[in-house]
Every structure is written in structure tokens, then in C-alpha cells.
Homo-oligomer: A and B are copies of this chain.
């Protein structure tokens, strides 16, 4: 049963996650949307890029900022297939992302609804609106399949 169609940006983020899996990276994908259009896409790539910060969210935020020529992404939304970690939640705050949409929760590594809950402290200078759950089954399925295949 399809209760509602998955929004295009989350479909684009899931497509990025599939590209990550093909590259041997943990399948997480992200896109940045501005005025209804995707302005940056990325997938997890720390091994490929030899960069410990190369999570999908960080790469998408950096590419969006580069595209706009400014460090702040006011009015932009980030769509990502997995709950952001502390590093990525902090970057989302620094970038002034308006709305964060994430698909699957991450009890083991997340820092939005779990663990450090980065957005809930006064030391976090900007809090996006946060929406979660759309696309969760597809996003979590990609992760399960990836880790099952590596065992």
C-alpha cells in the first residue's frame, strides 16, 4: 500500500545512497534543495576520498555553498537518508539550513534524536525544523543489505 508518494528530494537522496553502496561506501545520500530545486547532491565517501569528514551531508552542504558562493544556506533544505551524526548536525546548524528531512533513525550514531542531540543545546546557534521517517524503509533496507553483504 502506498500511503503517499515519496517526495522527489528523498528519492534523489536514496539514489545517492545507492551510488554509495556501489562504490563500497556505507549507503547514505543527501541533497540540498532551494526553491524546489536540487542544488547539490552527494553520497557518503570517506574511504574513496580519504577524508574522515566526507559524510553525505557534509559534501552536499559544501557543494551547495560552493554553488551559491556563500557560507550560509539560508532558505535551503537538506534531505538525507539517515539521521545525521554530531559532525553533520553541527554543520547543518553552521550552514543555517531551514529544514532537515531525514529518512531512517540512527540509534547507534545519530545526534539529532539520539545521543548528543546537538540541536537541543544553547551552544547550537541555529536549529532547523526537523522532519523524519519518510523513506525510512527504503533507506534502512539499503543499509541492512550493505552490511549483510559485507559480513
By a beta-carbon cutoff of 8 Å, the part of chain A in contact with chain B is 46-47, 49-54, 58, 61-62, 65-66, 68-73, 85-91, 93-96, 106-111, 114-118, 120-125
Query: In chain B, what residue has the closest Cβ to A48?
Result: B71
A90 and B86: CB pair below 8 A? yes
A contacts with B: majority SS: loop
Residues of B within 8 A of A47 (CB): 71
Known: A86-B116, A86-B118, A115-B121. A51 touches B66 (CB 8 A): yes
B52 and A91: CB pair below 8 A? yes
Residues of B within 8 A of A125 (CB): 109
Residues of B within 8 A of A90 (CB): 85-90, 111
